[in-house]
A and B are shown apart, each in its own frame.
Chain A
């Protein structure tokens, strides 16, 4: 009920229906209450859109009526193409050619068909039947084999122990095709077992190679003999990105990979935090740890947290901290071979093609 009164007050304020006293106290409230101010601004914008919609709709209506009326009166006539056409109407010119070409093709195929029928020997009906029986028999054995195989498949125990109860999940992405992934520390910090699952549903066991709870960055290494090295199509940006630059993210808020796009809204994060930056993309639990790409397909950050009170405020860890984490990790001889690609091969591609390409390199992370 309060909300109804509030919005009613906002509408009356915007329409100028408040008396002086009411208006003064409302403006006072607006100054002290940023949420109210936000509501006023948003509703003002919305009402403007509604008004414009309404006036254009009325205008379109009139346009339509006038046109119908003039057509009925014969003022608007269908005109024939004048002789003084400046540009030759190509479609009309080619129409004949196309028609001729099509009929030639049609006649040729009819003739070929007739000729083949004449020349080809007539098949023995009995033979055909026998053959089809043979095929039936072969089909039966294949079916049986197929059943056997699927039975065997279900009997083989999966390498990931199904008894493990996964408590947390999020998103991770490859930073080196040798099986190194970056993600958020908070997803896996209490986990003993970490499993990553790619977009096709293949599961791999991974271990935590590096974790920094303060910066909320973790590097995972896939330790699974089924994993094959791949070449990454994107790079990790060393520089900071500009405000308003379009960005997109891919992640696993649900079991399927989900795409979201938006823009960088501030160079710093919550309360001026310089570790992160603020972005405006739709994000849900499970998106954590996902990569933020800029238009060139370079990773500019890791999606990390969402401010609870404010809709649309999402924060990302800047990509330079991934590079710093890698430098730390390389000090360990075991990981000295990590290398990140410096060029993104999807750079010139359209957004759609980029997303299609990079989605295979983004994994769901589960930890127990």
Chain B
């Protein structure tokens, strides 16, 4: 197995959501993906969409900690984008003949299936968050997304003390859970 020290570094940067790593990945890979998609019935906007999704797949893998790179990032990103694009062509029925390419690809079907599942859960959470309304949304985001403690939240949201904020947080959390699990059960 070959080792790509630079690629490993990039992955680590990606896992910690480092902007420099993201920028480097864009610069190195976007051109290739854009050419591929333009040559296969797509537009530049399609290329941007697909590339972003592939970056999320790569991020999920990198952040899971269990990802071992068996090919160059370039090859991996290209394989993911190719698979995603073929799927989208099939869905929009613009797909005419199998688009084969001579470039090297690695199998990514399993990863994409997993990504699909995760993405569904993400969308459900996004929808649930969108439905709980304010101040619930900001309150839960402050606690769970930005790691604020109850004292800070009480001050920011104008509750008289941390216990009141806690009560409010509990009510909001229950609503979010209900919204999320209703979708989750119906989705499966």
Contact = CB atoms under 8 A, between A and B. Distances in A.
B125 A76 contact: no
Contacts of A190: none
A64 B49 CA distance: 11
Contacts of A3: 170
B38 A82 contact: yes
A67 B121 CA distance: 25
Q: What's the interface size class on B, roughly? A: 35 or more
B39 A87 contact: yes
Given A58-B17, A62-B22, A89 B59 contact: no
A62 B17 contact: yes
B94 interface: yes
A63 B125 contact: no
Given A60-B56, A70-B23, A4 B167 contact: yes
A54 B96 CA distance: 39
B175 interface: no
B55 interface: yes
Nearest to B141: A54
A63 B55 contact: yes
A262 to B, nearest CB: 8
B52 interface: yes
Contacts of A324: none
A66 B59 contact: no
A63 B34 CA distance: 17
Interface in A42-72: 46-47, 49-60, 62-67, 69-70
Interface string B124-144: 011001000000000000001
A25 to B, nearest CB: 22
A78 B118 CA distance: 31
Given A54-B145, A56-B59, A86 B39 contact: yes
A282 B17 CA distance: 40
A90 interface: yes
B101 A53 contact: no
A8 B166 contact: yes
Q: What's the interface size class on A, roughly? A: 35 or more
Contacts of B96: 90
A151 interface: no
Contacts of B63: 55
A67 B101 contact: no
Interface stretch (B40-48, B71-79, B152-160): B40-48
A165 B114 CA distance: 54
Interface in A266-295: 280, 282
Interface string A9-38: 000000000000000000000000000000
A280 B184 CA distance: 13
A47 B166 CA distance: 17
A91 B39 CA distance: 12
A66 B59 CA distance: 15
B70 interface: no
B39 A54 contact: no
A53 B38 contact: no
Contact of B39 (A50, A64, A85): A85
A140 to B, nearest CB: 52
A46 B26 contact: no
A100 interface: no
A7 B169 CA distance: 11
A75 interface: yes
A67 B180 contact: no
A52 B39 contact: no
Nearest to B37: A79
- Which 10 A-B residue pairings sit nearest by Cβ, starting from the closest? A53-B125, A54-B145, A4-B170, A85-B39, A66-B22, A78-B44, A50-B144, A59-B59, A66-B23, A59-B17
